[in-house]
Structure 1
Amino acid sequence: MAEPTAEPHFLRIGPDVPGSPVVLSVPHAGRAYSPALLKASRLPLRTLEALEDRLVDRLVWRAQASGAVALVARAPRAEIDLNRDQREIDPLMVTPPPPPGSVLQSARTRGGLGLVPSRINGAGSIWHRRLPAAELDRRIAEIHAPYHRALEGALAAARDRFGVAILLDCHSMPPQEDGSGASVIFGDRHGTSIAPDFLDAAVAAARACGFKVGRNTPYAGGYITTRHGNPARDIHALQLEIDRSRYLDRSLRSPGPGFDAAAEMIAHVAAALAIKALAPPEAIAAE
Structure 2
Amino acid sequence: MLSVPHAGRAYPGALLDALNVPLAALLPLEDRLIDEVTLSARRHETLLIARRPRAWIDLNRAEWERDPQVEADVSAQGRPRSSAKLRAGLGLVPRRSSGFDHIWNRRFTNQEIDERIGIDHRPYHAALEELLRAARARFGIAVLLDIHSMPGLPGADPPDIVIGDRFGRSATGRLSSAAEAAATQSGMRVATNSPYAGGHILDTHGRPERGIHAIQIEIDRTRYLDGAMEWLNEEAGEVAAMLRRVIDALAEAAIPGAVAAE
TM-score, normalised to structure 2, is: 0.94
CA contact (8 A) 1:94 1:131 kept: yes
Alpha-carbon offset, residue 234 of structure 1: 0.2
Aligned to 1:227: 204
SS in 2 for 1:245: helix
Q: Deviations over 1:102-140 (max 9, x none)?
A: 553111111110000012232220111111110000000
**How far is the alpha carbon of 1:188 from its aligned partner?**
0.7
| Cα deviation code 1:23-49 (max 9, x no counterpart) | 111000000001221111111111112
Tell me by how many angstroms 1:97 deviates: 2.2
Question: Is the 2:136–2:212 contact (alpha carbons within 8 Å) kept by the matching residues of 1?
Answer: yes
Aligned-partner residue type, residue 87 of structure 1: W
- For the 8 Å contact 1:155–1:235, the answer to whether it is kept is yes
Give the 3-state SS of the residue equivalent to 2:42 in structure 1: helix
Asked if structure 2 preserves the Cα contact closer than 8 Å seen for 1:91 and 1:103, the reply is no
Write out per-residue CA displacement over residues 75-104 of structure 1, whole angstroms, 9 at most, x where no aligned residue.
000000000001001123212226955553
Aligned to 1:57: 35
Please, which moves more after superposition, 225-234 or 173-182? 173-182
- CA deviations on 1:211-237 (whole Å, 9 max, x unpaired) are 111001100111101111010000001
**Matching of residue 182 in structure 1 with residue 159 in structure 2:** yes
Question: How many residues in Structure 1 have an aligned counterpart in Structure 2?
Answer: 257
Does the Cα contact within 8 Å between 1:171 and 1:242 map onto a contact in 2? Answer: yes
Question: Which structure 2 residue ranges, 5 or more long, are not aligned?
Answer: 258-262
| CA RMSD, 1 decimal | 1.5
Matched, 1:123 2:100: yes
2:6 corresponds, among 28, 49, 53, to 28
Q: Matched residues in 2 for 1:102 and 1:148: separation?
A: 23
Map of 1:39 onto structure 2: 17
The question of whether the paired residues in 2 share the 8 Å contact of 1:207 and 1:213 is answered with yes
1:148 corresponding residue in structure 2? 125
Say which structure is richer in strand.
1
Asked if 1:105 corresponds to 2:64, the answer is no
Moved more, 106-115 or 90-99: 90-99
The residue aligned with 1:262 is 239
Give percent identity, aligned residues only: 47
TM-score by length of structure 1 reads 0.86
Hey, what's the Cα distance between the residues in 2 that align with 1:64 and 1:51?
Answer: 24
Cα contact 2:25–2:98 (8 A) shared by 1: no
Equivalent of 1:274, from 222, 231, 251?
251
Is 2:168 aligned against 1:191? yes
Query: 1:140 and 1:183 mapped to 2: Cα distance?
Result: 32
